[in-house]
Amino acid sequence: MRITTVGRAAGGGRVTRAIAMDFVEAQIRSSVLDYGVATRGPVSLSKAFIRGSPNAARGNLLSTDTSTSNPVTLSGWTAEVGGEVFLSHPTGSVPGDGIIAGISDPIARAAHVHPNIPAPEFPTVDPAPYVSYLVGKETLITGSSGAAYLSNIRIKANANPTFTGGGTYEGVILIEAPNRVTFSGGATIRGVIVVSNPTEATATNLISFSGATTLLGPETLPDSFGALKTMKGSVVLAPNFTLDLSGGSSSFGGSVVAKTLTVTGGSGGNIAGTVILTGSSALSMTGGSTITISDVGGAQSIPSGMRFTQTYVPYPETYLEVAP
Protein backbone atom coordinates (compact mmCIF):
# COMPACT_ATOMS: atom_id res chain seq x y z
CA MET A 1 0.00 0.00 0.00
CA ARG A 2 1.46 3.38 -1.02
CA ILE A 3 0.51 6.53 0.88
CA THR A 4 1.08 9.93 -0.70
CA THR A 5 0.89 13.09 1.41
CA VAL A 6 0.67 16.60 -0.02
CA GLY A 7 1.62 19.63 2.07
CA ARG A 8 0.82 23.24 1.21
CA ALA A 9 2.35 26.44 2.53
CA ALA A 10 0.37 28.19 5.26
CA GLY A 11 -1.71 31.24 4.42
CA GLY A 12 -2.87 30.01 1.03
CA GLY A 13 0.57 30.10 -0.60
CA ARG A 14 1.25 28.30 -3.82
CA VAL A 15 4.22 26.27 -2.57
CA THR A 16 3.41 22.55 -2.28
CA ARG A 17 5.47 19.44 -1.73
CA ALA A 18 4.47 15.79 -1.76
CA ILE A 19 6.04 12.64 -0.40
CA ALA A 20 5.16 8.97 -0.81
CA MET A 21 6.06 5.80 1.07
CA ASP A 22 5.05 2.17 0.79
CA PHE A 23 3.54 0.31 3.73
CA VAL A 24 3.79 -3.47 3.74
CA GLU A 25 1.80 -6.22 5.45
CA ALA A 26 3.30 -7.56 8.66
CA GLN A 27 1.85 -10.25 10.86
CA ILE A 28 1.43 -9.58 14.57
CA ARG A 29 3.22 -12.38 16.39
CA SER A 30 0.92 -14.24 18.82
CA SER A 31 2.03 -15.31 22.28
CA VAL A 32 0.71 -18.79 21.44
CA LEU A 33 4.21 -19.39 20.05
CA ASP A 34 5.74 -18.83 23.49
CA TYR A 35 4.35 -22.11 24.86
CA GLY A 36 5.73 -25.59 24.35
CA VAL A 37 2.22 -26.99 23.89
CA ALA A 38 -0.87 -24.84 23.31
CA THR A 39 -4.31 -26.41 22.87
CA ARG A 40 -7.93 -25.31 22.71
CA GLY A 41 -8.95 -28.61 24.31
CA PRO A 42 -8.34 -30.35 27.64
CA VAL A 43 -5.19 -32.32 28.42
CA SER A 44 -4.97 -35.77 30.00
CA LEU A 45 -1.58 -37.13 31.04
CA SER A 46 -1.55 -40.67 32.41
CA LYS A 47 2.00 -41.69 33.34
CA ALA A 48 3.16 -39.37 30.56
CA PHE A 49 5.42 -36.34 30.27
CA ILE A 50 5.60 -32.90 28.65
CA ARG A 51 9.08 -31.48 29.19
CA GLY A 52 11.32 -28.65 28.01
CA SER A 53 14.98 -29.09 27.17
CA PRO A 54 17.40 -27.63 28.00
CA ASN A 55 15.12 -24.82 29.21
CA ALA A 56 12.33 -26.13 31.44
CA ALA A 57 10.10 -23.21 30.35
CA ARG A 58 9.90 -24.75 26.87
CA GLY A 59 7.68 -27.31 28.61
CA ASN A 60 5.06 -24.68 29.46
CA LEU A 61 1.52 -25.89 28.72
CA LEU A 62 -1.51 -23.77 27.78
CA SER A 63 -5.13 -24.94 27.63
CA THR A 64 -7.81 -22.43 26.61
CA ASP A 65 -10.63 -24.90 27.33
CA THR A 66 -13.24 -23.31 29.61
CA SER A 67 -15.81 -26.14 29.56
CA THR A 68 -14.41 -27.54 32.82
CA SER A 69 -12.55 -26.11 35.80
CA ASN A 70 -10.04 -28.96 35.49
CA PRO A 71 -8.89 -28.77 31.86
CA VAL A 72 -5.56 -30.44 32.71
CA THR A 73 -5.49 -33.72 34.65
CA LEU A 74 -2.49 -35.74 35.82
CA SER A 75 -2.86 -39.45 36.59
CA GLY A 76 -0.10 -41.35 38.33
CA TRP A 77 2.85 -39.96 40.22
CA THR A 78 4.98 -40.04 37.11
CA ALA A 79 2.71 -37.75 35.06
CA GLU A 80 4.61 -34.51 34.55
CA VAL A 81 4.46 -31.04 33.04
CA GLY A 82 8.04 -29.82 33.18
CA GLY A 83 7.16 -26.13 32.91
CA GLU A 84 4.25 -24.03 34.15
CA VAL A 85 0.56 -24.67 33.42
CA PHE A 86 -1.54 -21.81 32.02
CA LEU A 87 -5.35 -22.06 31.94
CA SER A 88 -7.94 -19.75 30.39
CA HIS A 89 -10.62 -21.00 32.80
CA PRO A 90 -11.05 -18.22 35.39
CA THR A 91 -10.74 -20.61 38.35
CA GLY A 92 -8.99 -23.51 36.63
CA SER A 93 -6.86 -25.99 38.54
CA VAL A 94 -4.97 -29.26 37.98
CA PRO A 95 -6.22 -32.26 39.95
CA GLY A 96 -4.54 -35.61 40.42
CA ASP A 97 -1.08 -36.78 41.28
CA GLY A 98 1.96 -35.91 39.25
CA ILE A 99 4.53 -33.17 38.90
CA ILE A 100 4.39 -29.56 37.69
CA ALA A 101 7.59 -27.50 37.36
CA GLY A 102 9.47 -30.17 39.31
CA ILE A 103 7.06 -30.10 42.27
CA SER A 104 4.87 -33.07 43.28
CA ASP A 105 3.20 -31.66 46.40
CA PRO A 106 -0.31 -30.56 45.26
CA ILE A 107 -0.33 -27.49 47.50
CA ALA A 108 3.15 -26.27 46.53
CA ARG A 109 2.70 -26.97 42.83
CA ALA A 110 -0.46 -24.81 42.75
CA ALA A 111 1.82 -21.76 42.55
CA HIS A 112 2.84 -22.97 39.10
CA VAL A 113 -0.73 -23.23 37.79
CA HIS A 114 -1.98 -19.93 36.36
CA PRO A 115 -5.75 -19.61 35.74
CA ASN A 116 -7.64 -16.81 33.99
CA ILE A 117 -5.08 -16.41 31.19
CA PRO A 118 -6.60 -14.70 28.12
CA ALA A 119 -6.63 -17.02 25.13
CA PRO A 120 -4.02 -15.90 22.58
CA GLU A 121 -4.67 -15.91 18.86
CA PHE A 122 -4.23 -19.35 17.31
CA PRO A 123 -2.90 -19.42 13.75
CA THR A 124 -4.67 -20.26 10.56
CA VAL A 125 -2.76 -22.25 7.97
CA ASP A 126 -1.97 -20.84 4.55
CA PRO A 127 -1.09 -23.67 2.12
CA ALA A 128 -0.86 -21.36 -0.92
CA PRO A 129 2.97 -21.00 -0.98
CA TYR A 130 3.38 -24.78 -0.85
CA VAL A 131 0.73 -25.41 -3.49
CA SER A 132 2.45 -22.88 -5.76
CA TYR A 133 5.84 -24.45 -5.12
CA LEU A 134 4.56 -27.88 -6.22
CA VAL A 135 3.37 -26.73 -9.65
CA GLY A 136 5.27 -28.76 -12.25
CA LYS A 137 7.11 -30.77 -9.58
CA GLU A 138 4.55 -33.00 -7.93
CA THR A 139 4.26 -36.79 -7.88
CA LEU A 140 0.64 -37.87 -7.47
CA ILE A 141 -0.13 -40.49 -4.80
CA THR A 142 -3.40 -42.42 -5.12
CA GLY A 143 -2.68 -45.38 -2.83
CA SER A 144 -0.15 -47.03 -0.54
CA SER A 145 3.55 -47.05 -1.40
CA GLY A 146 6.66 -48.95 -0.42
CA ALA A 147 9.00 -46.71 -2.44
CA ALA A 148 12.38 -46.12 -0.85
CA TYR A 149 12.40 -42.48 -1.99
CA LEU A 150 9.76 -39.95 -3.02
CA SER A 151 9.90 -36.18 -3.37
CA ASN A 152 7.27 -33.43 -3.65
CA ILE A 153 4.16 -35.58 -3.42
CA ARG A 154 0.46 -34.72 -3.55
CA ILE A 155 -1.77 -37.28 -1.82
CA LYS A 156 -5.19 -37.34 -3.43
CA ALA A 157 -8.29 -37.09 -1.25
CA ASN A 158 -9.52 -40.45 0.07
CA ALA A 159 -6.32 -42.23 -1.02
CA ASN A 160 -5.77 -43.29 2.61
CA PRO A 161 -2.20 -44.45 1.91
CA THR A 162 0.32 -46.24 4.09
CA PHE A 163 3.98 -45.50 3.37
CA THR A 164 5.94 -48.60 4.41
CA GLY A 165 9.51 -49.73 4.67
CA GLY A 166 11.09 -46.72 6.33
CA GLY A 167 11.41 -44.68 3.16
CA THR A 168 12.85 -41.19 2.71
CA TYR A 169 10.50 -38.39 1.63
CA GLU A 170 11.75 -34.94 0.67
CA GLY A 171 10.13 -31.61 -0.14
CA VAL A 172 6.42 -30.88 0.26
CA ILE A 173 4.00 -33.61 1.26
CA LEU A 174 0.66 -32.06 0.29
CA ILE A 175 -2.40 -33.88 1.63
CA GLU A 176 -5.87 -33.37 0.20
CA ALA A 177 -8.59 -33.91 2.81
CA PRO A 178 -10.40 -36.11 3.62
CA ASN A 179 -7.61 -38.61 4.16
CA ARG A 180 -5.89 -41.01 6.51
CA VAL A 181 -2.14 -41.10 5.98
CA THR A 182 0.25 -43.47 7.76
CA PHE A 183 4.04 -43.48 7.81
CA SER A 184 5.40 -46.75 9.21
CA GLY A 185 8.73 -48.41 9.75
CA GLY A 186 10.89 -45.45 10.70
CA ALA A 187 10.42 -42.98 7.85
CA THR A 188 12.73 -40.00 7.29
CA ILE A 189 11.04 -36.81 6.08
CA ARG A 190 12.88 -33.65 5.06
CA GLY A 191 10.51 -30.80 4.37
CA VAL A 192 6.94 -30.09 5.45
CA ILE A 193 3.60 -31.90 5.63
CA VAL A 194 0.77 -29.51 4.76
CA VAL A 195 -2.96 -29.93 4.09
CA SER A 196 -4.16 -28.26 0.90
CA ASN A 197 -7.68 -27.61 2.28
CA PRO A 198 -7.13 -26.94 5.99
CA THR A 199 -10.79 -26.10 6.76
CA GLU A 200 -12.19 -29.42 5.46
CA ALA A 201 -13.96 -30.86 8.49
CA THR A 202 -14.07 -34.66 8.16
CA ALA A 203 -13.77 -36.03 11.70
CA THR A 204 -11.64 -39.04 10.70
CA ASN A 205 -8.77 -37.10 9.09
CA LEU A 206 -5.55 -38.62 10.41
CA ILE A 207 -1.77 -38.46 10.06
CA SER A 208 -0.17 -41.39 11.84
CA PHE A 209 3.50 -42.04 12.58
CA SER A 210 3.78 -45.72 13.44
CA GLY A 211 7.34 -46.37 14.51
CA ALA A 212 10.09 -43.84 15.05
CA THR A 213 10.00 -41.10 12.40
CA THR A 214 12.53 -38.34 11.77
CA LEU A 215 10.96 -35.19 10.38
CA LEU A 216 13.49 -32.49 9.52
CA GLY A 217 12.68 -28.93 8.48
CA PRO A 218 12.87 -27.59 4.90
CA GLU A 219 16.15 -25.83 5.67
CA THR A 220 17.85 -29.25 5.70
CA LEU A 221 16.94 -29.97 2.06
CA PRO A 222 19.49 -29.92 -0.76
CA ASP A 223 19.89 -26.65 -2.66
CA SER A 224 17.99 -28.16 -5.59
CA PHE A 225 14.76 -27.55 -3.65
CA GLY A 226 15.27 -23.82 -4.09
CA ALA A 227 12.76 -21.51 -2.40
CA LEU A 228 11.35 -24.28 -0.22
CA LYS A 229 14.54 -24.17 1.87
CA THR A 230 13.61 -20.66 3.03
CA MET A 231 10.13 -21.70 4.29
CA LYS A 232 11.40 -22.45 7.77
CA GLY A 233 9.89 -23.13 11.16
CA SER A 234 7.01 -25.54 10.44
CA VAL A 235 7.06 -29.27 9.74
CA VAL A 236 3.36 -30.21 10.07
CA LEU A 237 0.54 -27.83 9.04
CA ALA A 238 -2.65 -29.87 9.44
CA PRO A 239 -5.20 -28.03 11.61
CA ASN A 240 -8.05 -30.37 10.61
CA PHE A 241 -6.15 -33.65 11.19
CA THR A 242 -5.52 -35.77 14.26
CA LEU A 243 -1.81 -36.46 14.68
CA ASP A 244 -1.11 -39.90 16.13
CA LEU A 245 2.28 -41.06 17.46
CA SER A 246 2.73 -44.72 18.35
CA GLY A 247 5.38 -47.40 18.45
CA GLY A 248 8.47 -45.29 18.95
CA SER A 249 9.89 -41.85 19.60
CA SER A 250 9.85 -39.41 16.67
CA SER A 251 11.79 -36.23 16.08
CA PHE A 252 10.25 -33.05 14.64
CA GLY A 253 12.53 -30.26 13.45
CA GLY A 254 9.95 -27.48 13.66
CA SER A 255 6.51 -26.45 14.89
CA VAL A 256 3.39 -28.58 14.53
CA VAL A 257 -0.21 -27.47 13.91
CA ALA A 258 -2.84 -30.21 14.20
CA LYS A 259 -6.44 -30.60 15.36
CA THR A 260 -5.46 -32.86 18.22
CA LEU A 261 -2.70 -35.23 19.27
CA THR A 262 -2.67 -38.75 20.66
CA VAL A 263 0.52 -40.34 21.98
CA THR A 264 0.49 -43.97 23.09
CA GLY A 265 2.63 -46.99 23.80
CA GLY A 266 5.63 -45.27 25.28
CA SER A 267 6.14 -43.24 22.13
CA GLY A 268 6.54 -39.50 21.83
CA GLY A 269 8.61 -36.90 20.16
CA ASN A 270 11.38 -34.36 20.41
CA ILE A 271 9.97 -31.16 18.89
CA ALA A 272 12.01 -28.08 18.02
CA GLY A 273 9.13 -25.61 18.03
CA THR A 274 5.61 -25.30 19.41
CA VAL A 275 2.81 -27.88 19.33
CA ILE A 276 -0.43 -26.01 18.51
CA LEU A 277 -3.70 -27.95 18.68
CA THR A 278 -6.67 -26.14 17.18
CA GLY A 279 -9.46 -28.58 18.08
CA SER A 280 -11.51 -29.03 21.24
CA SER A 281 -10.73 -32.74 21.69
CA ALA A 282 -8.43 -33.82 24.49
CA LEU A 283 -4.68 -34.10 24.10
CA SER A 284 -4.22 -37.65 25.37
CA MET A 285 -0.88 -39.12 26.43
CA THR A 286 -0.53 -42.49 28.15
CA GLY A 287 1.83 -45.31 29.01
CA GLY A 288 5.14 -43.54 29.52
CA SER A 289 4.79 -41.32 26.44
CA THR A 290 6.91 -38.19 26.32
CA ILE A 291 6.93 -34.92 24.39
CA THR A 292 10.13 -32.93 24.79
CA ILE A 293 10.06 -29.35 23.48
CA SER A 294 13.51 -28.00 22.71
CA ASP A 295 14.84 -24.50 22.29
CA VAL A 296 14.78 -23.40 18.68
CA GLY A 297 16.73 -20.64 16.97
CA GLY A 298 14.68 -17.63 15.86
CA ALA A 299 12.04 -18.24 18.51
CA GLN A 300 10.65 -14.73 17.98
CA SER A 301 9.85 -15.36 14.32
CA ILE A 302 6.57 -16.67 12.90
CA PRO A 303 6.90 -20.15 11.38
CA SER A 304 6.20 -20.39 7.67
CA GLY A 305 2.67 -21.36 6.69
CA MET A 306 1.07 -19.86 9.81
CA ARG A 307 -1.04 -16.72 9.52
CA PHE A 308 -1.95 -14.30 12.29
CA THR A 309 -3.65 -10.90 12.38
CA GLN A 310 -1.87 -8.44 10.14
CA THR A 311 -1.03 -4.76 10.28
CA TYR A 312 0.84 -2.40 7.96
CA VAL A 313 4.32 -1.08 8.71
CA PRO A 314 6.35 1.56 6.83
CA TYR A 315 9.00 0.51 4.34
CA PRO A 316 11.47 3.41 4.71
CA GLU A 317 13.55 2.49 1.66
CA THR A 318 10.57 3.44 -0.55
CA TYR A 319 10.43 7.09 0.62
CA LEU A 320 10.12 9.45 -2.36
CA GLU A 321 9.50 13.10 -3.01
CA VAL A 322 6.93 13.17 -5.79
CA ALA A 323 5.12 15.73 -7.91
CA PRO A 324 2.17 17.20 -5.97
Is there a contact between 314 and 1 (Cβ–Cβ < 8 Å)? no
* Pair 21, 117 in one domain: no
* Pair 150, 7 in one domain: no
Q: pLDDT digit string (tens) for 84-99?
A: 999 999 999 999 889 9
* Pair 13, 160 in one domain: no
Is there a contact between 198 and 272 (Cβ–Cβ < 8 Å)? no
* Pair 260, 286 in one domain: yes
Please give the model's pTM, rounded to 2 decimal places.
0.90
* Residues with pLDDT less than 50, the chain: 298
* Pair 118, 46 in one domain: yes
What percent of the chain has a predicted confidence (pLDDT) above 70?
98
- Total domains in the fold of the chain: 2
pLDDT confidence of residue 293 = 94
* Pair 15, 144 in one domain: no
Per-chain mean pLDDT for the chain: 93
DSSP 18-66: EEEEEEEEEE---GGGGSSEEESS-EEEES-EEEEESSGGGG-EEE---
* Pair 11, 138 in one domain: no
Of 211, 209, 277, the closest CA to residue 238 belongs to 277
* Pair 104, 226 in one domain: yes
Q: pLDDT digit string (tens) for 1-42?
A: 999 999 888 776 677 889 999 999 889 999 999 999 999 999
Q: Which domain holds residue 14?
A: 2-27+312-322
* Pair 104, 190 in one domain: yes
* Pair 19, 151 in one domain: no
* Pair 7, 104 in one domain: no
pLDDT confidence of residue 309 = 95
* Pair 260, 125 in one domain: yes
